[in-house]
Amino acid sequence: MIPISVFIITKNEADRIGNIIKSVQNFADEIIVIDSGSTDETKKICEDLGVKFIFNSWQGYGPQKIFGENLCKNQWLLNIDADEEVSVELANEIIEIFGKEISPEIAGFKIKIFNKFRFETKPHRFAYYYNQLRLYNKNLAGFKNSTVHDSVIPKDTNHKILQLKNIIYHQSFRNFTHWIEKINSYASMQAKDAVLKNKNVGFLKILLAPTLAFFKAFFIRRYFIYGFNGIIYSYLYAFSRFLKMVKIREEFQANKFKNSL
């Protein structure tokens, strides 16, 4: 086993958490699940698989990830979300890399995270992906304390960030009901975060941004490769942007009204 700690934040992930844990069990010598109050079988599945299961009340994405980092015993950490899965090829690549000495100049490794939609066993060959620092030395990098955005940031510019070849699968939603629930929840968090920063959105942005978001999803994110489903995905992506701005405007107006009393 490799001295890597894997940590995963969860809430009601019984249908997915088993496969995610199994995707890292063959190389990580510590796996920690940080749960914010599951009412399904998430805890039982985790404990049956022999991983550490810790409760921590939800404070936001960044604080929850920082809490997870602080629990890990190893210097090298791999963070994956409960809707992600390490590919077999990536697991083998990590095993190969850590079979040799890691240079102290290296702060971490970026990993490409490919969208995998429902009814796909693997991401489409031309699927959209994003590239994030996920495997890192906690002494040299770590999560920032943001309730909405959760990304690993190097602590200085004097260390190298390398790129891994293989990928993580990301299936963000179980079905359309789940996707819409996530859109609503995340838009509410984004609105509160924006108002704390005294940000508002104007009329033209609310009017035009959803259309631009649709074309961004369909062409830049390459949702067109999914045919008619790609049109649906693009509309939902546009709706998420629209709802975010509407909620920011509502939150801003409510805050302004409250302060005027």
Average confidence (pLDDT) over 156-169 = 96
CATH 3.90.550.10 segments of the chain: 2-170
pTM, whole model, 2 decimals? 0.91
pLDDT band at 85; cut points 50, 70, 90: very high
pLDDT band at 229; cut points 50, 70, 90: very high
Average confidence (pLDDT) over 82-97 = 97
- The SS3 call for residue 136 is strand
Contact predicate 91/26, CB 8 Å: yes
Contact predicate 24/6, CB 8 Å: yes
d(CA 63, CA 160): 25
Give per-residue pLDDT as tens, 1-21.
Answer: 899 999 999 999 999 999 999
Contact predicate 133/162, CB 8 Å: no
pLDDT band at 159; cut points 50, 70, 90: very high
The amino acid at 199: K
Give per-residue pLDDT as tens, 134-153.
Answer: 999 999 999 988 878 789 99
Q: How does the average pLDDT of the chain come out, rounded? A: 95
Q: Give the per-residue pLDDT at 195.
A: 86
Six-digit token string for 13: 């992930």
Q: Using alpha carbons only, what angle is made at residue 193 by residues 117 and 188, rounded to the nearest 5 degrees?
A: 50
pLDDT band at 231; cut points 50, 70, 90: very high
**CATH topology for the 2-170 domain:** Spore Coat Polysaccharide Biosynthesis Protein SpsA; Chain A (3.90.550)
Give per-residue pLDDT as tens, 164-199.
Answer: 999 999 999 999 999 999 999 999 999 999 988 899
d(CA 199, CA 201): 7
